[in-house]
Amino acid sequence: MDARILQEFRAVAGERGLITSQEELKTYECDGLTNFRVVPQAVLLPRSTEQVQRIVRLCHREHIPFVARGSGTGLSGGALPVQNGVVISLARMNRILEVDLANARVVVEPGVANLEVTERVAPHGFFYAPDPSSQSVCSIGGNVAENAGGAHCLKYGFTTTHVLGLEVVLPDGTLAHLGGKTLDTPGYDLPGVFVGSEGTLGIATKIILRIVKRPECVQTLLAAFGSTSEAGAAVSGIIAAGMLPAAIEMMDHLAIQAAEAAVHADYPDCGGLLLVELDGPMAEVEALMRHVDEICRKCGAGEIRVAQTEAERTLIWKGRKAAFAAVGRISPNYIVQDGVIPRTALPRIMSEIERLGAEAKIRVANVFHAGDGNLHPLVLYDRRVEGQEHAAEVLANRILELCIEAGGSITGEHGVGEEKKMMMSKMYAEPDLETMQRVRCAFDPEQLSNPTKVFPRPRLCGESPGEYRPHPLETAGIAERF
């Protein structure tokens, strides 16, 4: 990069706010998805909104693409640097700016870790609901970019449900305030479209969050089934009975083994493990928990346990949340996949995954948010075995195709990023993608903010879109436009 520009960056961010040495830049070459790597030209570590604005203005003036980065825990390559671009790390903007308990609002900078918000408000009986498995390190800014979910979004919603307002540095350096502390601010729901835009519409520098009152009672039940399809039947039974649990999680035998090996969660050894969490007023939870217990027994559950103490509950969740990393104990390499299906398609898709795995001689461990049909198949392989990595990638992609064919989605919470952008045209027809990109053109006509992500092919702003053409899946009668 031009020394003159570097000098300007240094003038904005200070000596300690600019990284240019090759060795240090390597730290930023990828995020949680490690099979894509690009070394950025420079990394900037601003400490204030004003510094972010000045950096972005400079990028805009010089046509330098930039990628915002939080804690780098993303699993779709959203924070992967782009060629000839810089990374803007928000790690140093990590203050909780305001806690307004009377109105249940917290204002944070983007570098604040997800769990810090809950820790700050927990003494007052509140929590911040989105709880991705990486919550102890992942940043709120990253959560905003990816619209992070977690185990409890079945009942409590996603990041987008809990973000009321944003201060955003737009890709030309302009500052804009989207939404606010009050609800239904007049005009378009720009926070709604910004959250989950994966860093392609600008950089959030302040985020107004809604916090939630902790329920009176939380109970977590573990039920051991012979198979995931039995466990799946219990999930259907629970939903059909008109209950909305705080979380319903499922793990298959391989995932249970991995979690046991890693954190000794004391899970029963079984073919399908169901974790059901109910929360709310004590009397309500107790009445419904008896009902859940009955449904599980009817569906063939052997052992059923209800966590009796907070410590037991924490241990149950520790096993579940550690499942991705735990798989490292039973396989040298693995791909974490993230797909969504209508929940009722679960038994069919599970047996299809099993069949495909057997055919390819690749093991697949399954962890799901079963209540909302969000699958996390972990495709296990050994890079040292010739051809296995490729076979694993093919299988992982095939699983996503199954999700699309079932009327689901290629990502429920990890984002499209670099990894899945080519799958977007399998899920959406061309006019759908072109319409989405109109938003991009409004925010970032020059496509400087995290370019090359999310969409398979950038739309030139000003290009006029074509007429509607049916998607191949529609023509084949597999899918219907909703």
286 touches another protein by CB under 8 A:
yes
Stretch that binds another protein, among 14-22, 28-36, 100-108, 328-336 (CB under 8 A): 100-108
Q: How far is the CB of 439 from another protein (least distance, A)?
A: 5
Separation CA 457–CA 452 (nearest Å): 8
Q: 3-state DSSP helix/strand/coil percent for the chain, to nearest 5? A: 40, 20, 40
Dihedral (CA of 442, 448, 450, 454) sign: positive
Q: How far apart are CA 134 and CA 144, in angstroms?
A: 14
Taking residues 315 to 354 in sequence order and writing x for each that binds another protein by CB under 8 A, - otherwise, the string is: -------------------------xxxxx----------
Q: Does 472 bind another protein (CB under 8 A)?
A: no
CA separation, residue 183 to residues 58, 163, 168, 186 (Å): 34, 10, 18, 9
Q: How far is the CB of 169 from another protein (least distance, A)?
A: 12
User: Within 120-139, which residues bind another protein (CB under 8 A)?
Assistant: 125
- Residue 255, both tokens: 């995932």
Instruction: Locate 465 and state its tokens.
Output: 């879109």
Check binding of 446 to another protein (CB under 8 A). Answer: no
Judged by CB under 8 A, which stretch of 265-273, 296-304, 319-327, 420-428 contacts another protein?
420-428
Taking the complex as a whole, the smallest distance from the CB of residue 26 to another protein amounts, in Å, to 29
Count of residues in contact with another protein, rule CB under 8 A: 100
DSSP labels, 23-66: HHHGGGS--S-TT-----SEEE---SHHHHHHHHHHHHHHT--E
CB of 304 to another protein, least distance (A): 20
Any contact of residue 372 with another protein (CB under 8 A)? yes
Q: Which of 89, 94, 374, 447 touches another protein by CB under 8 A?
A: 374
Candidates 32, 72, 111, 196; binder of another protein (CB under 8 A) is 196
Q: How far apart are CA 445 and CA 439, in angstroms?
A: 9
Stretch 234-253 residues interacting with another protein (CB under 8 A): 236, 239-240, 242-244
Q: What does the DSSP assignment read for 201-240?
A: S-EEEEEEEE-EEPPSEEEEEEEEESSHHHHHHHHHHHHH
Q: Which stretch binds another protein (CB under 8 A): 65-73, 107-115, 226-234, 368-376?
A: 368-376
Helix, strand or coil for residue 465? coil
As measured in angstroms, the least distance from the Cβ of 450 to another protein is 13
Q: Rounded to an integer, what distance in angstroms lies between the CA atom of residue 214 and that of residue 125? A: 5
211 binds another protein (CB under 8 A): no
Q: Which stretch binds another protein (CB under 8 A): 53-61, 65-73, 157-165, 250-258?
A: 157-165
Q: Is 481 in the site for another protein (CB under 8 A)?
A: yes
Q: Under the criterion CB under 8 A, does residue 368 sit at the interface with another protein?
A: no
